[in-house]
């Protein structure tokens, strides 16, 4: 559930409260969230927790970064911790409601907890996080100048995939999930099941704009909190109060009052208006 705006909200909060601090030690309560890297470049899942603890202990936090849905804690040494919250992962400055997977203890007494009821989320230490395969595989940041309608059109060219699936493809553009794909397509007037290759130039321009718009607006509202997402102090965002179609199947379209439909596309449910989206 945490997509770009939610991870960005967390990043900004952590940057303000924890940058410059030094990790004294960490407590690993669930080793399965530690991912490693094998000789083939594929992730392995057998990082020794004593290695992880040694690697992060005494590291000073330089800054917090975000790449797509990944949150990166960059140390002064140049090494980094790369978190992916997947669906239910949380980073909290206060003790979580249920047992954390990992707790980081800072020298000044501050804490950072990584909690995840569903154990999909991961954290990985890397001496050079920029070259991790999952980071290299990411497409451009949708809020950067790299993300243009020309880029979208070029990537959509000859793509048979439905445009909703294309927007979820992290190697095409990084950080968009089911919520913002649905919202951006609605505002752009494009049906989610339309073949990406059949998106016209003008529509790509509109879509490029609506993608930026929904992400920026959600960051302003501190993220979408219908289900699991909370910020680092356990507070909900307000983005769900402003969504037009996501989670609104069966309700009237905000523009034309026609009942919103849902279709499963690439295993994900896409909500849309059959009148407003062509």
Residues in the site for DNA, rule: CB under 7 A?
1, 3, 32, 42-43, 68-69, 84, 86-88, 117-120, 134, 137, 159-162, 165, 168, 170, 177-179, 246-247, 262, 264-269
Smallest gap, in angstroms, from Cβ of residue 4 to DNA? 10
> Is-contact 208 173, C-beta < 8 A?
no
Nearer to DNA, 61 or 174 (CB): 174
Q: Is 101 a catalytic residue?
A: no
153-177 per-residue burial string, b: 16 or more CB within 10 A, e: under 16: bebbeebebbbbbbbbbbebbbbbb
Smallest gap, in angstroms, from Cβ of residue 225 to DNA? 12
Give dist(CA 39, CA 151) in Å, integer.
33
Q: Which two tokens stand for residue 101?
A: 């997977």
Q: Catalytic pick from 66, 69, 155, 194?
A: 69
Nearer to DNA, 175 or 277 (CB): 175
Cα 252 to Cα 52, 218, 261, 265, 277: the distances in Å are 51, 22, 10, 21, 14
Nearer to DNA, 23 or 265 (CB): 265
Smallest gap, in angstroms, from Cβ of residue 170 to DNA? 5
Q: Is 268 a catalytic residue?
A: yes
Q: Catalytic pick from 238, 244, 262, 268?
A: 268
Q: Is 96 a catalytic residue?
A: no
Give dist(CA 253, CA 273) in Å, integer.
6
Nearer to DNA, 14 or 172 (CB): 172
Q: Is 74 a catalytic residue?
A: no
Q: Catalytic pick from 3, 8, 74, 134?
A: 3
Nearer to DNA, 21 or 124 (CB): 124
Whose CA is closest to 29, among 119, 97, 108, 110? 119
Nearer to DNA, 18 or 165 (CB): 165
Q: Catalytic pick from 2, 5, 96, 162?
A: 2
Smallest gap, in angstroms, from Cβ of residue 223 to DNA? 12
Smallest gap, in angstroms, from Cβ of residue 17 to DNA? 25
Smallest gap, in angstroms, from Cβ of residue 250 to DNA? 11
Catalytic residues: 2-3, 69, 268
């Amino acid at each position: 559930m945490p997509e770009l705006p939610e991870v960005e909200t967390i990043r900004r909060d952590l940057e303000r409260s924890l940058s410059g601090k030094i990790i004294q030690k960490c407590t690993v309560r669930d080793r399965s969230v530690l991912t490693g890297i094998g000789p083939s470049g594929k992730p392995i899942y057998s990082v020794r927790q004593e290695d992880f603890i040694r690697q992060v202990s005494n590291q000073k936090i330089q800054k917090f970064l975000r790449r797509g849905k990944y949150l990166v804690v960059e140390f002064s040494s140049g090494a980094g911790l790369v978190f992916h919250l997947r669906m239910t992962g949380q980073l909290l400055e206060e003790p979580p409601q249920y047992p954390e997977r990992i707790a980081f203890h800072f020298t000044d007494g501050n804490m950072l907890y990584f909690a995840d009821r569903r154990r999909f989320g991961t954290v990985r230490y890397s001496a050079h996080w920029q070259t991790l395969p999952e980071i290299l595989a990411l497409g451009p940041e949708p809020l950067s100048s790299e993300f243009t309608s020309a880029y979208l059109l070029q990537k959509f060219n000859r793509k048979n995939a439905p445009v909703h699936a294309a927007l979820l493809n992290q190697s095409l553009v990084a950080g968009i999930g089911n919520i913002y794909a649905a919202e951006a397509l609605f505002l752009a007037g494009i049906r989610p099941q339309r073949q990406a290759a059949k998106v016209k130039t003008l529509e790509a321009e509109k879509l490029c704009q609506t993608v930026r718009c929904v992400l920026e607006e959600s960051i302003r509202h501190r993220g979408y909190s219908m289900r699991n997402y909370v910020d680092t102090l356990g507070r909900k965002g307000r983005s769900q109060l402003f969504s037009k179609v996501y989670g609104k199947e069966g309700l009237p379209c905000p523009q034309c009052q026609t009942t919103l439909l849902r279709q499963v596309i690439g295993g994900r449910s896409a909500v849309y208006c059959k009148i407003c989206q062509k």
